[in-house]
């Protein structure tokens, strides 16, 4: 099997995960770029990485075929544009950015140099998500009418360094809307269609050491589908649920229980599809394989630049709505 030269840009928590998972595909020869010297040296030593750069421009001119951008969100578009202009296929971490600056240049460079560009919204790779998407697209449940999402986790447990990283500032992609709710919005858009109107209420309630929002409630119109999304980053239980009411059935996804189910008649039997419990890396490994397949021309990227841009517009509208207390139209 031919291997691809893959550069991981930024090896903080998510960058290390991508490094680990691309390595597990056994389809990649890996190098890293990290400005933090102690972190760069530690990660290179931990994973046996032989080539480690401290300068982005030097790294991208060294000849990688693929790059994975894991830097803070405000750097994503400038980095991705440089990579596209060099013909380097790119998997860019979510969100695409924190504003719309440079979008046209990135799109033009991507099209001109025919590079594969994917946005790393990992939830689209979860087997539960894929099963629900296939069922909804088949039409067997009829037209989706409403979607309700509820989730929460104890963020300090999973990201203990959250005070010192990008999360502490909206300008670098911080806060619950850009950090976590964006995953759920993007997944909801994939399942039932893009958001065209949104109103949001967001507040900091509990996380110590930051003042960005840790709790969010939003209402959406997604074409003819009415949506509701509620999330917090401070509860003790880690839960993620979607309920999608369709014309012919109700769909319930319980990600924290590794299952989804559907009911086709009132008070009827719930039909359950149970998936094996998996490690968190498993879905990132699926994403890595999927992106490599797209580079090889064997599939399409799971989340395109256009879809990532759509979710970015929703992020920005949700932030604006939470400040202005008004409905926002997605341009």
- Residue 331: band (very low, low, confident or very high) from pLDDT cuts 50, 70, 90: confident
Task: Examine the domain organization and report whether 16 and 133 are in the same domain.
Answer: no
Instruction: Say if 281 falls within a structural domain.
Output: no
Domain count, the chain: 2
* Structural domain includes residue 300: yes
pLDDT single digits (tens) 185-228:
999 999 999 999 999 999 999 999 999 999 999 999 999 999 99
pLDDT in tens, 241-263: 999 999 999 999 999 999 999 99
CB-based contacts of 258, cutoff 8 Å, min separation 6: 128, 274, 275, 276, 277, 278
Task: Render pLDDT for 164-193 as a digit per residue (tens, 0 to 9).
Answer: 888 999 999 999 999 999 999 999 999 999
Please give the structure tokens belonging to residue 84.
Answer: 């596209």
- Domain span at residue 146 reads 123-275+310-329
CATH of the domain at 210: 3.30.360.10
160 and 87, same structural domain? no
Q: What tens digit of pLDDT does each residue of 144-170 get?
A: 999 999 999 999 999 898 998 889 999
Q: Do residues 14 and 93 make contact, with C-beta atoms less than 8 angstroms apart? A: yes
Residues 134 and 255 in one domain: yes
Verify that 160 and 202 share a domain, yes or no.
yes
Residue 90, domain CATH: 3.40.50.720
Together in a domain, 68 and 200: no
This prediction has a pTM of 0.96
Looking at residue 2, its pLDDT comes to 81
Q: Based on the domain organization, do 144 and 84 belong to the same domain?
A: no
Same domain, 56 and 179: no
């Amino acid at each position: 099997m031919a291997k691809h030269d893959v550069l991981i840009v930024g090896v903080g928590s998510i960058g290390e995960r991508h490094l680990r998972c691309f390595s597990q595909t056994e389809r990649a020869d890996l190098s890293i770029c990290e400005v933090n010297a102690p972190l760069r040296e530690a990660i290179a030593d931990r994973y046996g990485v032989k080539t480690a750069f401290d300068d982005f421009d030097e790294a991208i001119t060294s000849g990688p075929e693929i790059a994975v951008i894991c830097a803070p969100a405000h750097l994503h578009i400038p980095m991705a544009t440089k990579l596209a202009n060099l013909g380097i296929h790119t998997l860019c971490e979510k969100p695409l950015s924190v504003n719309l600056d440079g979008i046209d240049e990135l799109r033009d460079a991507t099209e001109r140099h025919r590079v594969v560009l994917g946005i790393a919204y990992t939830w689209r790779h979860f087997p539960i998500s894929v099963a629900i998407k296939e069922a909804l697209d088949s039409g067997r449940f009829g037209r989706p009418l409403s979607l309700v999402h509820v989730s929460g986790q104890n963020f300090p447990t999973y990201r203990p360094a959250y005070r010192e990283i990008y999360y502490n500032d909206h300008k670098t992609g911080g806060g619950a809307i850009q950090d976590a709710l964006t995953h759920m919005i993007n997944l909801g858009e994939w399942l039932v269609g893009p958001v065209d109107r949104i109103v949001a209420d967001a507040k900091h309630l509990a996380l110590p050491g930051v003042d960005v929002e840790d709790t969010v409630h939003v209402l959406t119109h997604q074409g003819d589908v009415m949506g509701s999304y509620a999330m917090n980053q401070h509860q003790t239980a880690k839960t993620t649920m979607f309920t999608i009411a369709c014309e012919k059935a109700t769909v319930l996804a319980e990600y924290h229980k590794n299952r989804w189910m559907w009911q086709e008649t009132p008070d009827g039997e719930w039909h359950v599809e149970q998936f094996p419990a998996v490690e968190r890396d498993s879905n990132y490994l699926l994403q890595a394989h999927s992106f490599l397949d797209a580079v090889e021309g064997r599939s399409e990227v799971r989340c395109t630049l256009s879809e990532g841009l759509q979710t970015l517009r929703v992020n920005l509208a949700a932030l604006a709505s939470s400040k202005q207390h008004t409905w926002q139209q997605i341009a």
